[in-house]
Copies of this chain bind each other. A is one copy, B any other.
Amino acid sequence: MSDKERQYRKGGPTQMKEYVAKYEDLYKIVKEMFIGIGYSDKQATAVTNSLVEADARHIHSHGTVMLPTYLGYIETTGCLKLDAPDPTVVHETPVSFVMDGHSGVGYVIAETAVKKCIKKAKESGICVAAVRYANHYGYAGHWSEMMADEGLIGITSTNTIRAVCPTRSAERFLGTNPIAVAIPTVGDEPRFLLDMATCVMAYGKICRSKVFAESGVLPDDIVVRPDGTTVTDFPEAIEVVAHGDTPDKIPVEPTGGIAPLGGTTELRSGYKGYGLAMLVELLTGGFSGGIPSKFIPYAGEGVCFFFMAIAPTVFGDPKAVLEHLKYIIEEYRKAQPISEDMPVLMPGDKERHYREEALKNGIVLSDDIVGKLRAVAQRVGKETEFEKVFTVKE
């Protein structure tokens, strides 16, 4: 084991201890901790809604672990402004608007934009919105589902800190740039929910993988070195993905980064993942008049969003439309699995399953995450309440 690897493993995600918390208990303490670090009730509610949901769905990269990260943003760089003015609409038509978030809390800005998008889509049939100077809004699916909860087709995307290399380049220029689409149905068929980063593997999945950390090996064609070759040594890969962004906002070249969906080669269509990531840059930074991921420093200042809500009524009688969507999803559920213990899933099934489990048996968090949250709890004087929320997982 190399020194580097030993160092990484020390206190890292390879420690197998896990904690369990009830959904509502975790929600309560996390919201209190946000208030403790200076969030308003509205800000704390918006962010906690998303972070606890993410943990319940096993999207831990976008879960409560972000609390100490945001605290760092606020204290170190000032990129995330708790006293920012309310988001303002800078352009509006019956089917659209452009919003400026003034570098406030991304979750509040997203919530404001999504609510407006829902209202306008109900009036006009469709609404499209681009938002500039926002901040991290968590897992994208949250906002698509908020639209689907109102019976609308909900689409969203965001640019992010730069992490992904264009095809044929080893410069991290693109964000992981997720695209999320939620499509409601009727009856017992749960809705379609696609929520995907446009890179081959999300940043959080690489960094928090127990399997990679334990084996010390990352599969080929996921992380690209500054010289364009791909990395399979896990500690080296972690160094590459963490390198290249400094608080003074000046990109350090060459950087290396994550490969787009499809990988680095044109043979297996890595250029499609790159094309999708580039599309997201235009939908978000482009249509909002904001900045592209290339210039977004590590604290996330200047993040841009894209939202679209479509009422099923634009395609006919809404009940008939949703029934037909249900029929198609059901037809695709009939695909025969290769292995009986690996059933064919519909996008959204896995997260839904985890969520149901979490509501029943509690949300499971790693020792690593709980440790980071504990430090914040101590700081805001919530240590006793914090410890009561967690029990060690058997």
Question: Given the complex, which residues of B lie within 8 Å of A112, measured CB to CB?
Answer: none
Contact with B along A266-298 (1 / 0, CB 8 A): 011101111110110110011111001011000
State whether B126 touches A347 (Cβ < 8 A).
Answer: no
CB within 8 Å for A292 and B328 given contacts A168-B343, A276-B194: yes
Partner of A269, one of B130, B183, B196, B336: B196
Contact A347 B95, beta carbon cutoff 8 Å: no
Q: A345 near B: Cβ within 8 Å?
A: yes
A254 CA to B269 CA, complexed, in Å: 26
| A window 216-247: CB within 8 A of B | 219, 221-222, 227-228
Which of A194, A328, A331: most chain B CB closer than 10 A?
A328
> From A201, which residue of chain B is reached at the shortest CB distance?
B269
Does A11 reach chain B (CB closer than 8 Å)? no
> In chain B, what residue has the closest Cβ to A192?
B282
How many identical chains are in the complex?
Answer: 2
Total number of A residues with any Cβ neighbor in B under 8 Å: 84
Q: Which residues of the other chain, B, contact A228 by a CB distance below 8 angstroms? A: 338-339
With both beta carbons as reference points, the residue of chain B lying nearest to A346 in the complex is identified as B278
Q: Which of A19-27, A77-85, A319-327 contacts B (4 or more CB under 8 A)?
A: A319-327
Q: Specify which chain B residues have a CB less than 8 angstroms from the CB of A373 in the assembled complex.
A: none
Distance, CA A344 to CA B227, complexed state (A): 15
- Picked from B128, B269, B325, the residue with its CB within 8 Å of the CB of A126 is B128
Can you spell out 13 A-B residue pairs with CB atoms less than 8 angstroms apart?
A90-B316, A95-B125, A96-B126, A96-B315, A200-B269, A201-B268, A219-B267, A262-B273, A274-B347, A278-B332, A279-B347, A282-B329, A292-B331
A interface residue numbers (CB < 8 A to B): 90-91, 93-96, 98, 124-126, 128, 130, 165-171, 173-174, 181, 183, 192, 194, 196-197, 200-201, 219, 221-222, 227-228, 253-254, 261-263, 267-269, 271-276, 278-279, 281-282, 285-289, 292, 294-295, 310, 313-316, 320-321, 324-325, 328-329, 331-332, 335-339, 342-347
